[in-house]
Structure 1
Amino acid sequence: MKLYKSFLCGLILFFSALSYADSSNTNQGSNSGNSKNNEKADHTCDGNWINPITDVCWQCLFPMSIGDTQVSQGSSSLPDTENPSNAIQQCPFPPPIFRRVGIAVGYWEPIAVTDVTRNPMCMVNLGGQKIGGLKRSKVGKATKTAIENTGVFYHTHWYQYPLISWLKLFSDDLCMQGGDFDIGYLSELDPMWNNDLLSIFVNPEAIIFGNPIAQAACIVDALAAEAYLPLNPLFWCAGGHGSVYPFTGAIRTEASGMNSSVLLSERMNFKLHRQGIITDTVPYNTAVCFSGQNPIVPKDRYRYHLVNPTADANNCYPYGRGVMRWQAGKEMPNSHKNYGHLIWRKRNCVVF
């Protein structure tokens, strides 16, 4: 029996190697005209696991509120959003109870982590591991010479990261995001992320806002995000980072790698809202009992901070706030442009 198993394993390995060699030769022949481009696109995959103690900005949980009364500002001066006016809420409940009375609370919770990378299937926040299985996927680029296009392309991954649930900071499961750490979205598997025309299916309004007048309005949003919070009515703007449209990994002109990584994290956030994957709570009486889908991301209810390549655990920033004030010293000149960000969301809920 042992001899039979050894023979079978050897046979499998032989045919696997033969198949790999054949596919390699085929790819080499079909891509001979692009060999130089492929060499340039062979970026290194690197990154670090997130330490939930030292790499997370715990002061970003604040401000906390009960009703519309702020009970803790924490050690930061981060701005807060609107909260329900009544501290006591009555929420529907299945019979025979029908109604439950609880206390409306508000706080900020970490919900997701994003990878932004030029290397397909490079899991930056999983220690820089690369997942195989795809024969070919579009490789990101970044060119800065005067004679070349200065556009860039990145892949983006979205991880579910319910840190509050792991730590059991609340006894009520309705007041925190549940679940396990999981990969929620891979742009390599989404053909719309690579194609501006295909992305029109999920963001048809991009045609309306792709003009100089609409983009000039983003100056106001950028100033608002720098001073306090972004403006939700200007939903097509990502503050000082640029435009959220189209929902692809392409950026026409890159100001910096950090800026591109934050912009693409915000684009992915908006895209997943549009596709009904992310839910939000609302800061209104009675409605605070529920959460639901929103096709337009409520920008003022999201924050972010850097976790890769260097964790910035002392600060977090509102959606759309520029990177100029914090990006210095966070990236080395020889960086391979692999980034990670922790995404925070405002949660209003009722504790029973």
Structure 2
Amino acid sequence: MTRLLRAAVLAFWAMLLGLAVAPEAQAAPTCNGKFVNPITDVCWSCLFPLSVGGLKIWPGNRPDASNPGSPICACADPVPRVGISVGFWEPARLADVTMKPWCFPNLGGVRIAPGFDIGQGYMAGPSMVGGRSQSTAKWHVHWYVYPLLYWMELLTDFVCFEQASFDIAYMTEVDPLWQDDALSGLINPEAIVFANPVAQAACAADCVSATASMPIDSLFWCAGCQGSMYPMNGNIASSIGHVQSSRLALSRFAYKMHRQALAWGTMGAKGLCEKYVMPIMRKQQYRFQMVNPIPTVSGRFACSPIGASTMPPDAGRAYPAGGEDMGYLVWRKRNCCVM
């Protein structure tokens, strides 16, 4: 009788907490990935161009966001100071983009499941849309704080580097807004304005601009060649490949972080003295470099801006044994006033 009572109590609490034990017969999908090697897996040429004011002192072969024209800058907080305006690109964040809940490709392909049914059910496959078979995809994103330049001490006592430790800052498995189109409308109600053919046709110009140089920030509802920034979640209605689809999910996630004030502006004249709130993300602030399954460490498209064509870096970068588990290093444009 005591055993029956104990079992009943456990079942009652499991029901309240929403816990569910997966049947042993249903094995979890394999999670693929590897740890990022900061020496061999990072495209170090993505640091460039370096600039002082509007002058590029180390151009490189990659397009750059606009910089403040004057080489002299002044800040008032915490103490008044005059310095030199510098611009550079920093590897600041790391991101898992995976179709498998609780799969962490950048942590060696480990799966850290909480043991209860949350964030589950994400699969990719064909669906019937308007009578035609269309491939859809659903992605989860894990966002890591990853200030690589500060860790490696490439420039000691350089105040512009973000001084932080490695941390998993966000997991979409526990975010209901990421998993539901209707709920995501709470943070992007303007999506209904751009849900029309005319607005989406304008994204073609963003695609061309992002591939040739930099994306068009004024077309903030566009993710260039990847598709639309709305809704701000991992539900990709038209997936034409793992690279295109995962980059779109990551672009939407970065926008979502800005909308929730969890990511801030670091570029332009406003970013010289401090970070600032940027609820409408400037796409030119970011570059994405693939580090899993196969790192892109060289070439002009190694760290493409948001919305650039995935044709050059797509070939051979996603394969059946791991193509659903992607990892990206997020490069962030930084303008800073150095004393």
TM-score (norm 1): 0.84
- Report the identity percentage: 41
SS in 2 for 1:281: coil
SS in 2 for 1:265: helix
**Which position in structure 1 is the counterpart of 2:316?**
329
Q: Which runs of 5+ in 1 are unaligned?
A: 1-14
Q: Which amino acid aligns with 2:197?
A: P
Q: Does 1:103 align with 2:84?
A: yes
Retained in 1: the 8 A contact 2:20–2:116? Answer: no
Shift of 1:173: 5.0
What are the residue-to-residue correspondences of 1:1-352 with 2, within 5 Å? 42-74=28-60, 77-94=61-78, 98-136=79-117, 137-144=119-126, 150-284=135-269, 288-314=272-298, 315-335=302-322, 337-352=324-339
Shift of 1:336: 5.1
Counterpart-to-counterpart distance in 1, 2:20 and 2:217: 47
Query: After the TM superposition, which parts of structure 1 deviate over 4 Å for at least 4 consecutive aligned residues?
Result: 145-149
Shift of 1:232: 0.3
Retained in 1: the 8 A contact 2:271–2:334? Answer: no
**Which position in structure 1 is the counterpart of 2:3?**
none
Deviations 1:108-141 (CA, angstroms, capped at 9, x unpaired): 0011111111111111100011112141122221
Retained in 2: the 8 A contact 1:138–1:194? Answer: no
Counterpart-to-counterpart distance in 1, 2:261 and 2:146: 18
Counterpart-to-counterpart distance in 1, 2:277 and 2:271: 13
Shift of 1:149: 5.7
SS in 1 for 2:238: coil
Retained in 2: the 8 A contact 1:172–1:351? Answer: no
Q: How many residues align?
A: 322
Deviations 1:203-222 (CA, angstroms, capped at 9, x unpaired): 11111111111111101100
Richer in helix (by share):
1
Counterpart-to-counterpart distance in 2, 1:225 and 1:149: 26
Shift of 1:83: 1.1
Retained in 2: the 8 A contact 1:194–1:250? Answer: yes
Retained in 2: the 8 A contact 1:43–1:336? Answer: no
Counterpart-to-counterpart distance in 1, 2:271 and 2:319: 46
TM-score (norm 2): 0.88
Q: Which amino acid aligns with 1:102?
A: G
Q: Which runs of 5+ in 2 are unaligned?
A: 1-5
Counterpart-to-counterpart distance in 1, 2:157 and 2:191: 40
Shift of 1:170: 3.4
Retained in 2: the 8 A contact 1:276–1:295? Answer: yes
Superposed CA RMSD:
2.7
